[in-house]
Chain A
Amino acid sequence: MNNFVTALLVGLWVTWAIIDEQTLQLQTTRPIITGPVVGLICGDLQTGLIVGATVELMFLATIFVGTAVPPDPTLSSAIATALAIYSGRGVDIAVATALPVALIGQVVTTLQYSVVNVAFLHLADRKAENGDTKGLVRTAWYPLIVNLIFYGLPTFLAVYYGAQYVTNIIDAIPEKIITGLAVGGGMIGSVGFALLLTTIKSKNLWPFFLVGLISATYLKINNIGIGLIAVMCVALYLEITKKRGAK
C-alpha cells in the first residue's frame, strides 16, 4: 500500500475512534486498540501491538476527571505507532513522540469543547426555541463531523509527511535525548496512578494498596493475578460487611 492510502486510513481510523469516544465508548480510542489497528494498516501488526501496549501503560490511569481534559491517547498512539514503524526504530521512538503528540491532542480537545461545541450549543438553543426536535438531534451530530478536521486531518498530515522525514529528523536528534525521553516515558505512568489515587473516596481503605503492592513485588504476581486479587478483596469485603450488618 502506498503512503497516501496508509496515511488516509490511519486518519480515518483516528476520526472513528474519537467519534466512538464521544458516542458509543467501545474504547477504541485507547492505545491498546489503536496501536494494533494502526500497526495492521501500516503492515506491521507486531510493532503496533508493542507500541499500543507501551503507550497504554503511559496513559493507563490518566482519566477524564470533571472537566479537566487529559492528554489525548488516540492521536498519540496512532502517530507514534506509524512513526515507530516507518523509522524502523520501534518502541523508543514511539515513547519519545507519544507525549508531545498527546499534549497537542489535549489542546485540540480543549479548543473543541470550549469554542466549537459552545457554538453548536447555541445553535441547539435556537432549535429548542423553535421546538424543532429533528433540528436539535441533527445539531447533536454536527460536532462528530468536526472530528474529521480536528483529529483526522492532522493525523493524515503527520503520518503522510512524518513518514517521509521521520528518519532524517530522528537521525538529527542526539541518541541520549531519545534514550532520555524513553526513560521519562517509563516514568510518566506514575502521574496517572497518582491522579487515580487522588480520586479514591474511601481513603481509610489504603491497606489494600499494600495488598496489591506486595502481591506484585515480593510475590511477583502478574496483572491478571492482580485483577483476581482485586475481585477476591471486594468479595471478602462484601461478605464481611454483610455479616456485620446482620448481627
Chain B
Amino acid sequence: MSRNERLNKSDLAKVYRRQFLIRAGLNFERQQCVGFTAALTPLIDKYYTDKEEKRQVMLRHMNLFLSQPMVASLPIGVALAMEERIALENDIDPEAVNSVKTALMGPLAALGDSLINGTLRPLVAGIAITMAQQNNILGPILFLIVMSFTTLFVRYIGIYKGYEKGVEVVEDIHKSGLIEKLTDIASIAAYVIVGGFIPGVVSMVLNISFTTGDNVLSIQEQLDGLMPGLLPVILTLVMYNLISKRKVSTIALMFGLMILGIVGVYLGIF
C-alpha cells in the first residue's frame, strides 16, 4: 500500500502542475486559499482515503493565504513536507503548518513583488519596448521567453526546494539575512531602472516660447540644456509625493493627468 511511502516523483510533478491554480480563485475574503488547498490534493489523495480525514486536512488549509503567486510555491513545498510528515509519523502539531505558512507568505510576497513584478518585468519590458519601437518583433518574443522561463523556474525551485528542506526554510531565511540582502538587491535594481527609464517612458514637453527681439526663446530647449528629461522626473517625484504623503489614489492621479493633458493643449502649454 502506498500509504506508508514518501511522496514519489509523479506525486511531486502533480503538485507542481496544480500549484499553477494558486491565483485562479483569488478572492478578497481569504485570497488564495482555494489554490493552495488544490495544490496539496495529490498528497491528500495519496495518504487519506477516509472522508473525515481528508476534510480535516483540507479545512486547515482553507485559512487566508496571500503571497506573490510565483514565490507562493515555496510555502506550498514546505507545507507538502510538513503534511507528509504528519501523515507518516504524526509527530508535528497540524496547527504548526499554518504558522509556518503565515511566517513565510509576508516576506516572500514583498520579495516576489519587488524582484519579479517591480524590477525584472519592467526591465525586460523596457528592453522589449525599445526593440518594438524599431519595428523589431524580437522584442516581444524575448520578453515572452524570459518571463515564461522565470515563472516556470521560480515555481519549480519553490516546490522542490521547499519540499526538500521543509521547516528548515523558515530558519534558513531568517538566519542568513537572505531576505535583507535580496531586498537591497531589489532596491538597487529598481532605483537604477526607475531613474533610467523615466526620461524615456514619461513624456512631458512644454510648447511655450517667448520672443525677445529677434530671438525666440523656447522654454523646453532651456530645460533640456539644464537636464534632458527634467520635467518627467519632477512630475514623477510630485506623483510619488502625492501617493506616499497625501495618499491620493493612483486612479485619481491618472485621471488628473489626462485632464491636465487636455487643459494644457487648450491653453497651448503642451
Instruction: Give Cα A203 to B114, complex, Å.
Output: 13
Residue of B nearest to A207 (CB): B191
Interface residue from A114, A132, A230 paired with B192 (Cβ < 8 Å): A230
What residues on A are CB-neighbors of B121 within 8 Å?
A: 27, 30
Encoded as 1 (CB less than 8 Å from any B CB) or 0, chain A from 99 to 124 comes to 10001001000000110011011001
Segment from B2-10, B95-103, B167-175, B253-261 that makes contact with A:
B253-261
Given A32-B125, A133-B44: A184 touches B258 (CB 8 Å cut-off)? yes
Contact between B198 and A213 (Cβ–Cβ < 8 Å)? yes
Is A121 touching B30 in the complex (CB atoms < 8 A)? Answer: yes
> How many cross-chain pairs have Cβ atoms below 8 Å apart between A and B?
379
List the A side residues contacting B114 at CB < 8 Å. Answer: 199-201
Q: Given known contacts A205-B191, A238-B185, is B254 in contact with A191 (CB within 8 Å)? A: yes
Partner of A184, one of B28, B240, B260: B260
Are B144 and A197 in contact, CB atoms less than 8 angstroms apart? no
Complex contact B118–A237 (CB within 8 A): no
Note all chain B residues with C-beta closer than 8 A to A65: 113
> Does B90 count as interface, using CB distance less than 8 angstroms?
no
A184 touches B259 (CB 8 A): yes
B51 lies within 8 A of A130 (CB): yes
Contact B229 A216 (CB under 8 A): yes
CB distance from A151 to the nearest CB of B (A): 14
For residue B17, give the distance in angstroms from its CB to the closest CB of chain A: 10
Residues of A within 8 A of B260 (CB): 184, 187
A65-B265 Cα distance, complex, nearest whole Å: 33
User: Does A185 contact B258, Cβ atoms closer than 8 Å?
Assistant: yes
Judge if B161 is at the interface, Cβ distance under 8 Å: no
Considering the chains assembled together, what is the distance between the CA atoms of A14 and B121 in angstroms?
A: 20
Is B257 a contact of A226 with CB atoms below 8 Å? no
CB-based contact B266/A140 at 8 Å: no
Chain A residue nearest to B58 in the complex (CB): A128
Which residues 45-83 of A have a CB within 8 angstroms of B?
45-46, 49-50, 52-53, 56-57, 60-65, 67, 70-71
Distance in Å: Cβ of B258 to nearest Cβ of chain A: 4
- Neighbour of B25 across the interface among A143, A186, A209, CB < 8 A: A143
Contact with B along A120-143 (1 / 0, CB 8 A): 110011011111111011011111
Interface segment, one of A4-12, A155-163, A164-172, A173-181: A173-181
Does B218 reach chain A (CB closer than 8 Å)? no
Contact between B24 and A233, CB atoms less than 8 A apart: no
Binary A-proximity of B79-123 (CB < 8 A = 1, otherwise 0): 000000000000000000000000000000010011001100111
The bracket for how many chain B residues form the interface is: 35 or more
**Residue numbers in A under 8 Å from B53 (CB-CB):** 131
Cβ-defined contact, B191 with A216, below 8 A:
no
Chain A residues near B165 (CB-CB < 8 A): none
B99 to chain A, nearest CB (A): 20
CA distance A215 to B191 in the complex (A): 12
Q: How far is the CB of B55 from chain A (nearest CB, A)?
A: 4
Q: Using an 8 Å CB-CB cutoff, how does the interface string of B227-270 with A read, 1 for contact, 0 for none?
A: 11110110111011011100000110111011111111110001
CA gap between A28 and B265 in the complex, in Å: 35
**A223 in contact with B129 (CB, 8 Å):** yes
| Docked CA distance A188–B235 (Å) | 10
Q: Judging by beta carbons under 8 Å apart, are B198 and A193 in contact?
A: yes
Query: Given A32-B125, A191-B253, are A57 and B201 neighbors across the interface (CB < 8 Å)?
Result: yes
B51 touches A121 (CB 8 A): no
Q: Which residues of B contact A180 (CB under 8 A)?
A: 258, 261-266, 270
A202 near B184 with CB under 8 A, answer yes
Decide: A53 near B129, CB < 8 A? Known: A140-B25, A181-B258.
yes
In the complex formed, the residue of B with least CB distance to A227 is B123
Contacts of B157 in A (CB 8 A): none
* B37 and A200 form a contact (CB under 8 A): no
Least Cβ–Cβ distance between A52 and chain B, in angstroms: 6
Cβ distance B216 to chain A, nearest Cβ, rounded Å: 22
* Interface CB pairs A-B, < 8 A, 11: A60-B126, A124-B34, A127-B58, A177-B265, A181-B261, A191-B239, A192-B250, A211-B191, A226-B126, A227-B123, A234-B188
Top 7 A-B residue pairs of the complex, sorted by shortest distance between their CB atoms: A184-B261, A212-B195, A180-B262, A212-B196, A226-B196, A131-B54, A184-B258
